[in-house]
Each structure stands twice: as structure tokens, then as C-alpha cells.
Amino acid sequence: MPGICEGRVAIVTGAGNGLGRAYALGLAAEGAKVVVNDLGVGTHGETGATRGAAEQVVDEIRARGGEAVANTDDVTDWDAGKRIVDCAIDSFGALHAVVNNAGFVRDRMFVSCTPEEWDAVLRVHLRGHFCTSRHAVDYWRGQQKAGRPVDARIINTTSGAGLQGSVGQSAYSTAKGGIATLTLVQAAELARYGITANALAPNARTRMTQTAFAEEMNRHEDGFDIYAPENTAPLVAWLVSAQSADVSGQVFELKGGIISLSQGWTDSPKVDKKARWTADELGPVVRRLLGEREPAKPVYGAA
């Protein structure tokens, strides 16, 4: 029986390890042809730390009867983003999905964060989500203008850190929050071209989470590996498939067998004076609103 991604072509960035590797293998198992992109950097962006990782994943896919090619371009480089897209088209004749997964962390309390660390984290996550997707959108718009049907996907990677904040990860949280918002804008703007955009906030064991949350990330429940990266792969496959064409602008949160949709920022109860407030009036009003709204999820690591 063919998989749900039969005939689809997908790029997965940062696919040499962890979640990206699980996505690439899962997509191939569902029949997709996969461009396995990985620059080979370490958890903190160290060059050459995992050289050959993309090729190893490609070998695994081919050994299981799937089709894949390796790509080692840098997702933060504008011209490289086009090469990644061209790699899919040249290798498989089409492109249907970009799964933006590449990233690293430089964990640091805000008072200790350096400009270099801040810029590096925002670059790999925000610019990294921009370059490949932007070139993919150019390709899909061209297809649509030529009268060819487009059923395309952008799948971004945010994080609980981006949705609610995480102590010691100010740059990472900022970048991931930006990605969640980017997803909403992409979904609104790109629907006219046959492109959907969704984001994942996976709670899984990776090189990044293993560094900060090793004890929790190795926890099992009744023999079920809650934090295995493979738990997220089926959702990625479904989002890449034609079955998800009517789903866009969503942020999916996953942990083990639990899947939910993030509600995002929503309006709270209001007070309308129907005139300008004075400063000394606002204290009681603000406290009333704080008491009436739904409580926010706490920042990770907050006391």
C-alpha cells in the first residue's frame, strides 16, 4: 500500500540528526522523495562537528528502498537557499514541501548574552527559515502563473520556548517566537498560490534539549519513549501530504502521544471608559483585567 506522501518531494533542513533525521526517514517511509539538508555543525553551531551526517541519513533511506539526496548548503545563506531548492527540482523534477528544522542554541541568561551569540541564534533560526522557503515560494508562484496546479507546504519549527519563553534562552525564545508569527503571515499571504504554512513546537529529545534537560528527556512512561523524535515524524508526513491541504496557519504542540493546537495570543476581557484614562485610574483597572483573564502558561524554568 503506498504511503500518504507518495509522489511528493520534500526538503528537510537540519536533517542529519534528531528531529530532522526522524522527519526525513518518516517522509521517505511514506513514499516521499527527500532532500536531506545538513551543514554538519554541532549543537552550538561549531563547523564540521557532524560532517557527513546528511549522507548517512541518505544511505539509511536508500537502504530501506526510499529515494533521497544529500545537500550540505547553509540555510542562512541567500544563494545557498536557492541551491537547496534547485537540488530538489534537479534531482526529482519537483518540490512540494520545505520542512524548516535547522537550528542551534547558545543558552545564556539575558544579562550574560553577547551580541555575537544573539546574532548567531537569530540568524540560524529566523534567516534560516527565510532563505530556503523564499526561494521555494518563487518556484511555486512560477508554477501557478504557468497554469500548473500547486499544492505546496511550508512547515516551520517553533518551540515552547518561543510560545511562552524559557529562562536562560532569551535569544532562542525570541527567534522561535518570531517563527510562530512568521507562520501566521505566510499562511495568510501564500494561500492564493496554493501554499499552506504551519509550525511545530515539538517536545522531543535532541542534541539541543539533551544539553539542558537531559534527565527529563530520557524519561519513559510504561515503556513508551515520550521524548523520542520519531513521535513527531507522523505529523510532519501528514502535513507534507495532500491530505492536509485545508490546514494552514496552525502551531502544533507535541509531546509523546499528546498533540494539541496552540491558541496563541488572544484578547482578554476589556474595560471601556469611552474617554481617555488618567494615569492614577489605571492601577485598579489593570488589576481587574489581570484577575479576569485566563492565566498564561508559565515561562519555562521560572520559579
Active site amino acids: 159, 172, 176
H or E element, residue 160: helix 160-164
CA–CA gap between residue 54 and residue 132 (Å, rounded): 17
- What is the three-class DSSP state of 41? coil
C-alpha cell at 224: 513508551
* Residue 16 near residue 57 (C-beta atoms within 8 A): yes
CA–CA gap between residue 137 and residue 114 (Å, rounded): 34
Strands 195-202 and 152-157: parallel
Q: What is the DSSP string of 221-234?
A: ETTEETT-GGGTHH
Say which residue the cell 483585567 belongs to.
289
CA–CA gap between residue 23 and residue 54 (Å, rounded): 13
Question: φ and ψ at 169, to 5 degrees?
Answer: -135, 50
* Residue 27 near residue 12 (C-beta atoms within 8 A): yes
Q: Please, which residues bridge with residue 225 across strands? A: 220
* Residue 151 near residue 195 (C-beta atoms within 8 A): no
Angle value at C-alpha 22, between 97 and 200, nearest 5 degrees: 55
CA–CA gap between residue 83 and residue 41 (Å, rounded): 19
CA–CA gap between residue 174 and residue 163 (Å, rounded): 9
